[in-house]
Structure 1
Amino acid sequence: MQTLHASTPDDVRAAIAAHPRLLVDYYKDDCPACRMLDLSLRQFAAGPAAAGLALLKVKLETVGEDVFRDLGLRQTPTLALHVDGREAVRLPGFRTPAQIAQAVEAHACDIPA
């Protein structure tokens, strides 16, 4: 699983447009659940559901609170799975590797890896 980092709102839009299967991790540095989710994402990345998927890390402190508000994000961490440029599912809060894999398989299984 390729990992990308967004520094600007334009980086977020460009990544969503460029990657047919993109998992976006919206997080903050001072968020304990965000650090736990990062560990889950590392474990998920080693599994078969991560094949052909890109991960975009979007840090609140870098892109700004306005971006998070505009997207309707109410908490960190939040994962959003984008398939062909559209948000397929949003997963707020901490998720286990199995929960992430289940969501990816349910919403992005018809896209070739």
Structure 2
Amino acid sequence: MNTIDITSPDAFADALAAHPLLLVDFYKDDCPGCKMLDLSIGKFAASPAAEGVTLAKVKLEVVGESFFFSHRLRQTPTLLLFKQGEEVARSPGFVAPAKIEELVQGPALSD
């Protein structure tokens, strides 16, 4: 799984256009749940299900609250999954590695 850091709304738009399957981790530094989610993402990244997935890390302190609110985010961490630039799944809060795999391989992804 490839990981990229998103530092601006333009970088986010570029990532959506460039990566067919984009898992976006919205987080902030002082968030205990975000640190726990990092561990889950690390375990997921080592699994076969992570093949072909790009992880985009979006830090609240870098992109700003207005960007978070524009995506209807209410808490950190929140994972969003985009396929071909369209949001297909959302999971707020801590997510176990198996649940991340379910999110990525969910029915919304079947062609």
TM-score calculated relative to the size of structure 2: 0.96
Partner of 1:108: 109
1:27-46 matches, cutoff 5 A: 27-46=27-46
**1:86-109 deviations in Å (ceiling 9; x for gaps):** 000011000000000011111335
- d(CA) in 2 for partners of 1:17, 1:81: 13
TM-score calculated relative to the size of structure 1: 0.94
Once the 2 structures are TM-superposed, how far is the Cα of residue 13 of structure 1 from its aligned partner? 1.0
Instruction: Give structure 1 regions of 4+ aligned residues with deviation exceeding 2 angstroms.
Output: 107-110
Partner of 1:70: 70
- d(CA) in 2 for partners of 1:105, 1:17: 20
- d(CA) in 2 for partners of 1:8, 1:45: 24
Identity %: 55
SS of the equivalent of 2:56 reads strand
Number of aligned residue pairs: 110
**1:33-66 deviations in Å (ceiling 9; x for gaps):** 0000000000000111100000000000000000
Partner of 1:21: 21
- d(CA) in 2 for partners of 1:80, 1:40: 15
Question: Which residue type is aligned with residue 42 of structure 1?
Answer: G
Indicate yes or no: 2:80 matched with 1:87: no
RMSD over equivalenced CA pairs, Å: 0.9
Once the 2 structures are TM-superposed, how far is the Cα of residue 17 of structure 1 from its aligned partner? 1.1
- d(CA) in 2 for partners of 1:45, 1:19: 16
Which structure 1 segments of 5+ residues have no match? none
- d(CA) in 2 for partners of 1:69, 1:102: 26
**1:64-93 deviations in Å (ceiling 9; x for gaps):** 000001111000000000001100001100
- d(CA) in 1 for partners of 2:95, 2:40: 7
